[in-house]
Amino acid sequence: DAGVTQSPTHLIKTRGQHVTLRCSPISGHKSVSWYQQVLGQGPQFIFQYYEKEERGRGNFPDRFSARQFPNYSSELNVNALLLGDSALYLCASSGLAGNSYEQYFGPGTRLTVT
Amino acid sequence: LAKITQPISMDSYEGQEVNITCSHNNIATNDYITWYQQFPSQGPRFIIQGYKTKVTNEVASLFIPADRKSSTLSLPRFSLSDTAVYYCLVGGPHGSSNTGKLIFGQGTTLQVKP
């Protein structure tokens, strides 16, 4: 069975640009969460979507937005990129069948902003 | 939110049992304790979850004393392939405020003893 997939794996952008990151959850999983992981730190929660609705939002500026599609895949969009947005962006899916603390993470997208 | 304290780093000889203790003094009644493992350049991976006493799976054991103010992750025989960062998470069964939000700290970097 395929795990969580993310694309692209690596990305280099310039300050002020916009970026779109994509995630496909494990088949049958309806919940997708996004995390940002800066080098040397634990992942920080950005968003959670369940059944195409936003269920949770972390402490990130409005430049960060996301959506979930009918097939439960998801996009994370970041506008007006800053150097500090350079990080590993992780997507996680869960079935939310009573235990969403068991989440399955993808390999991440490494974003570098120059 | 429960305040979590775990060692920043630990090292062990290969073949030895490794125990990582996490303190969570103000854990709430409905909070679960969950451990994740993260290898370099990969997303975190769920290891084990428990509420009280002892939980064991094919990867690790989790010991939780009666007061639940701490927990200990035990890896039975440390090997080089276990070199990773280990995160202790505390929260409700459906994540923080039912949003599925996972709150990661800095984690414990576990390495082979030189």
Share of chain B above pLDDT 90, in %: 63
B17-34 residues labelled b (16+ CB within 10 A) or e (exposed): ebebbbebeebeeebbbb
Contacts of B71 (CB under 8 A, 6+ apart): B21, B22, B24, B33, B50, B62, B63, B64, B65, B88
Chain A residue closest to B41 (CA)?
A: A107
Mean of pLDDT values over B64-89? 94
Chain B residue closest to A93 (CA)?
A: B100
Name all contacts of B79-84 with Cβ < 8 Å and 24+ positions apart. B79/B14, B79/B15, B80/B14, B80/B112, B82/B18, B82/B110, B83/B39, B83/B110, B83/B111, B83/B112, B84/B37, B84/B38, B84/B39, B84/B40, B84/B109, B84/B110
- For residue B97, the model assigns a pLDDT of 47
- For residue B96, the model assigns a pLDDT of 47
Contacts of A102 (CB under 8 A, 6+ apart): A94, B34, B46, B49
- For residue B111, the model assigns a pLDDT of 93
- For residue A76, the model assigns a pLDDT of 98
Q: Of residues B29 and B93, which shows the higher confidence score?
A: B29
Chain A residue closest to B87 (CA)?
A: A42
Tell me the mean pLDDT per 10 residues along chain A, length 114: 91 98 94 92 90 88 97 97 97 70 90 98
Q: Contacts of residue B100 in chain A, CB cutoff 8 Å?
A: 31, 33, 48, 50, 55-56, 94, 96, 100, 103
Contact call for A44 and B104, based on CB within 8 A: yes
How many A×B Cβ pairs under 8 Å?
Answer: 82
Contact call for B102 and A94, based on CB within 8 A: no
Contact call for B46 and A103, based on CB within 8 A: yes
Contact call for A31 and B100, based on CB within 8 A: yes
- For residue A43, the model assigns a pLDDT of 92
Contact call for A102 and B44, based on CB within 8 A: no
Q: Is A100 on the interface with B (CB under 8 A)?
A: yes
Contact A7, A60 (CB under 8 A): no
- For residue B1, the model assigns a pLDDT of 62
Judge whether residue B17 has pLDDT over 60: yes
- For residue A96, the model assigns a pLDDT of 59
- For residue A1, the model assigns a pLDDT of 61
- Over the stretch B18-54, which tens digit does the pLDDT of each residue have? 999 999 988 888 888 999 999 988 999 999 999 999 9
Contact call for B100 and A107, based on CB within 8 A: no
Contact B74, B57 (CB under 8 A): no
- For residue A100, the model assigns a pLDDT of 56
User: Which residues of B lie inside 8 Å of A (Cβ-Cβ)?
Assistant: 32, 34, 41-46, 49, 85, 87, 89, 91, 93-107
